[in-house]
Amino acid sequence: MKQFNESLVRKMERLASITISSLQLGKKARTKRCLALADELLSKGNEEMKNAITNVYLYSVSHYLELNRYPISKMLPVTLRNEYVKQINTSGV
């Protein structure tokens, strides 16, 4: 069984927390920077990074966006949006 990098998971949890808090405070520029950073890491990161972003960051942020009825398709950058759609389609919802 392959071990996962707990530090990486904690960092993705922290980035998700920062993104959500900036949404709550109405800081659009900060939110865009966080989403752009996650998008870049998803595009250029290794497999472990991509899994952490998908399973930790994107899950947390998209859940918050859905609950608060934010326009997900307008907010998420392209790579994150594509991964979000992939998650939705494979979940059976």
What mean pLDDT value characterizes the chain?
Answer: 92
pLDDT in tens, 19-60: 999 999 999 999 999 999 999 999 999 999 999 999 999 999
CA distance 39 to 65: 16
Residue 2 confidence (pLDDT) above 70: no
pLDDT recorded at residue 90? 86
What radius of gyration do the chain's Cα atoms show?
13
Residue 93 confidence (pLDDT) above 60: no
Among candidate residues 79, 75, 88, the one with its CA nearest the CA of residue 38: 79
